[in-house]
Amino acid sequence: MNFDDLMGRTEHWLNSKGPQQHIVISTRIRFARNLAHRPFPGWSKRAERIQVLDEIKAPVEALPEMEGGFSQVLQDLTALERQVLVERHLISREHAAKGAGSAVVMNAQQSLSVMINEEDHLRMQAIRPGLQFRDAFESLDTMDTELELLLDYAYSPKLGYLTACPTNVGTGMRASAMLHLPALVLSDQMNPVIQAVNKIGLAVRGLYGEGTEALGNLFQVSNQTTLGESESDILQRLTRVVEQVISHEESARQVLLETKRTMVLDQIGRAYGVLSNAHSIASKEALNLLSLLRLGVDLHLMDDTWRLAIDRLLIDTQPAHLQRESRRKLAAEARDVMRASIIRTRLENASGPDFSSLPEIPPQTSENAEG
C-alpha cells in the first residue's frame, strides 16, 4: 500500500480497547538487532548501508505479518510524511533524519513496524492499546523468531544481542508504557514518583521519548537496563511498577475529588468550554486541555466512547498531521486555527461533561473540611 492508503487506515491501537485504558494509553516494545559481520549503521559507508538494506528489506516484507503492509525507503518519503510517522510513534525522530540506505516496513494495522538502518540494522516495534506487555512481547517475539531464521544476527552467548550502543546490549529490548497521570501532576506528586521509579532502574520520559517534555500529563515508563535479566523478568518488573503507578494515580484522583472537588470539576468544565469554542489553539494548550477532558471521561462525566476520540485528537492535532490534512505547509498561526477547528468539529456531537453524574462528596470529608 502507499502512504495515502496507510493514512486511510486507523491505527489498531487507537481504534480498540485495552486493559487499564483509563490510565495507560499504549504499550510499546522494541527489539534492537544487527547482522553479524557488518559494521553498525553509524559506522557504515553509504554503500554498506544500502547492501544491508537490500539484505534485510525483502525478508521483512515477506513476513506473514507484513502481508498487505507498507514498505518504503526513507528517501521516497517527504519530510512531512516522515514527521507524520514520528507523531504516530511508528518511526523515531532519529530515523526520520536518515538518508540513503534506511527504510521502514509496517503492517496495515500499524501495530508492528520495523526500522531498517536506524542506530541498529533492525529496530522492530509492537504497539498495543492499554497495558499489554505480554501480548506486545509475544507478537514481536514471533516476528523476531521468524526473521532470525532468515538473517544472521550478531549474537554472543555471553553478551546476547550485540547492539551499536552498549546500553541496549543483551536482550536489545526496550519496553514502555505511555501513562496519563493528571491527578499525580495536579497534586504535585509526580516528582517523588519519577524519583522512585528511577531508583529501581526504570526511566520516566515525556511524550516523544528521551529529552522531551511531559506535555498533556503524559509520561512514558520504560526499562533502562537490557543485560543480566531475561525479557520476562524485565517485563514483570516493569508491569509491577506500572501497576503501582496506576494505583497511585487512582488514589490521587479519589483524593482530589474529595479534597479539591471544585478545582477539579472547574478545570474539566473549562477545558471542555475552551476546546469546544476556541478558534485558535497552540499545541501545548490543546494537549493540556485534552488531558483534562480525558480525566473527565475517566471520572464518568462523559461517555466512555470519548476516550478513544480524545486519544485520536492527541495525535491528529500534532503539527505534521495538521499539515498533511490541509495538504499544504502551514505557519504556526495557521496550524493553531486549524487545530482549533478540528477539535471543535469533533466535539460538536459531545454533550459535554455531566457533573450531576458524580456521586456526592462523602460526609466525613466535608465535616473535616469545615472543621
Partner 1 sequence: MQCDVCKKKPATVFLTQILGGKIQKVNLCESCSKEKGVADPTGFALTDLLLGVGNSDEVASPVGSARCPVCGFSQAELKKTGRLGCSACYDAFEEALGSLLKAMHKGTAHHGKVPARAMRSHELSRQVEALQDSLAKAVGDENYESAASLRDQIRQLELGLQPENG
- Is residue 228 a contact residue for partner 1 (CB under 8 A)? yes
Distances (CA, A) of 274 to 118, 141, 277: 40, 44, 5
Residue with Cβ nearer partner 1 (21 or 125): 125
Distance CA 52, CA 50 (A): 5
| 332 contributes a contact to partner 1 by CB under 8 A | no
Binding flag, residue 208, partner 1 (CB under 8 A): no
Of 271, 241, 280, 282, nearest to 347 by C-alpha is: 271
DSSP 194-239: HHHHHHTTEEEEBTTBTT---GGGEEEEEE---SSS-HHHHHHHHH
Residue identified by cell 542506530 is 119
Instruction: Tell me the C-alpha distance between 257 and 265, whole Å.
Output: 8
Q: Which is nearer to partner 1, 224 or 244 (CB)?
A: 224
Q: How far is the CB of 240 from partner 1 (least distance, A)?
A: 15
Which positions from 167 through 196 interact with partner 1, judged by CB under 8 A? 167, 169-171, 173
Helix ranges restricted to H, the chain: 3-8, 46-61, 79-87, 93-96, 133-148, 182-186, 190-199, 231-259, 261-277, 283-298, 306-316, 319-326, 332-347, 363-370
- 14-53 residues in contact with partner 1 (CB under 8 A) are 34, 36-40, 42-43
Per CB under 8 A, 224 contacts partner 1: yes
236 binds partner 1 (CB under 8 A): no
Q: Which stretch binds partner 1 (CB under 8 A): 174-182, 224-232, 263-271, 306-314?
A: 224-232
Is residue 155 a contact point for partner 1 (CB under 8 A)? yes
**The only residue of 47, 97, 100, 159 in contact with partner 1, by rule CB under 8 A:** 159
Q: Which is nearer to partner 1, 8 or 157 (CB)?
A: 157
Phi, psi of 202 (to 5 degrees): -115, 155
Segment contacting partner 1 by CB under 8 A, of 103-111, 158-166, 306-314, 315-323: 158-166
Q: Which of residues 122-151 bind partner 1 (CB under 8 A)?
A: 141, 144-145, 148-149
DSSP string, 302-316: S-TTHHHHHHHHHHH
- Our CB check for partner 1 shows the closer of 150 and 369 to be 150
Q: Which helix (H) or strand (E) holds 72?
A: strand 70-73
**Contact residues for partner 1, defined by CB under 8 A:** 34, 36-40, 42-43, 55, 119, 141, 144-145, 148-149, 152-162, 164-167, 169-171, 173, 198-199, 201, 203-204, 224-231, 233
